Amino acid sequence: MPQPSIRILSFAAIASAFGQILAAAPVPSGALHGAGPAAPPVPFAVVELFTSEGCSSCPPADELLSRLGAEAERTGKSVFTLSFHVDYWNGLGWADPFSRSGFTDRQRLYARDGEGRIYTPQMIVNGTDGFVGSQGGLARKRIEAALERPAGAVISLSSVLVAGNAGDSGAAILDLTYRVTGHQAGDLLNLAVVEKGLAVPVKRGENRGRTLKHDNVVRGFRTERLDAEGRGRSRLALPQGMRAENALIIAYAQKPESLRTIGAARAAFPGSAALRERSAAPGERSAAPGKAGVR
């Protein structure tokens, strides 16, 4: 098994930009307004992979994340996979088109209780269990352990497509309403839009000459601080080139100090013909990331 490629960064104050907000569709766990009691919490595993196209040890971890997601779909288990592309490899020959400084900052959040060392590939399950991201046996063990623990929060989402222009980086805007129960005031709600079926021919760096394939790449990310009521609203800008039929929204709540994940939900992306017409041509391709934003 290849050793992880490690690049050490000093721990610093976390930047305020986690990523451009993106989009969502109704969650099966229940409607938001007067539709009866929410469904009980379901055990889950949120798997965050920190990776880079500039890292030669990362492709096996990317492939593992894809397999874990496919296994979850096949078995119906509540496993939510996200691929965060960090930017600290970008100066070493290849600039990862999906990388964001905000994703590096997020990885630093998980390192704040240690020496501030971050590396790729790193996989973290439910905000607390971190390990080398290519270790398939350990990943499955940590996921199965997470699925045996009860969840604490229930998340519901609904969205409406708003006609208009999202500015420099998007073709439309979605208006997202969320509701969280079983949480405490001050808990964090992460909203992520991920896209599968991406492929990039790498021309320089450690992976030169390879075509790297990715699933559930985080195309946008936003963290909201919840109040006691747990209700809120966000406007979500869609980036150009993202294929709606390959996108999914994942929402997960965390405790602010430990970052322990207490609940998660997924939602299908709206199947809008207008969005599909504005997307790139069919087939595997990459897309440049948009602007960052957090509240």
pLDDT digits (tens, 9 = 90+) for 206-231: 999 999 999 999 988 889 999 999 99
pLDDT score, position 23? 34
Domain membership flag for residue 35 = no
In this prediction, residues 27-54 reach a mean pLDDT of 69
Q: Are 167 and 197 in contact (CB under 8 A)?
A: no
pLDDT score, position 208? 97
Domain membership flag for residue 18 = no
Residue 88 and residue 120: Cα distance in Å, rounded? 10
**In terms of Cα–Cα distance, which of 120, 97, 124, 82 is closest to 216?**
82
In this prediction, residues 134-140 reach a mean pLDDT of 97
pLDDT digits (tens, 9 = 90+) for 81-119: 999 999 999 999 999 999 999 999 999 999 986 557 899
Q: Which domain holds residue 180?
A: 45-278
Which residues, other chains included, contact 60 with Cβ-Cβ below 8 Å and sequence gap of 6+?
1, 2, 121, 134
Dig out the tokens for 278 from the structure.
């504005």
Domain membership flag for residue 25 = no
Residue 20 and residue 144: Cα distance in Å, rounded? 32
Domain membership flag for residue 236 = yes
* Count of the separate structural domains present in the chain: 1
The one-letter code for the residue type at 266 is: R
pLDDT score, position 132? 96
Locus of tokens 């930047």: 15
Helix-, strand-, coil-residue percentages of the chain, each rounded to 5? 15, 30, 50
In this prediction, residues 152-165 reach a mean pLDDT of 75
The three-state secondary structure class of 145 is helix
Q: Are 94 and 203 in contact (CB under 8 A)?
A: yes
Query: The CATH number of the domain where 114 resides is what?
Result: 2.60.40.10
What percentage of the chain exceeds 70 in pLDDT?
Answer: 71
Domain membership flag for residue 204 = yes
Residue 193 and residue 61: Cα distance in Å, rounded? 20
pLDDT score, position 193? 86
pLDDT score, position 140? 97
pLDDT classification of 20: cutoffs 50, 70, 90: very low
Domain membership flag for residue 38 = no
In this prediction, residues 247-275 reach a mean pLDDT of 83
Domain membership flag for residue 144 = yes
pLDDT digits (tens, 9 = 90+) for 22-40: 333 333 333 333 334 456 7
Domain membership flag for residue 261 = yes
pTM for the structure as a whole? 0.79
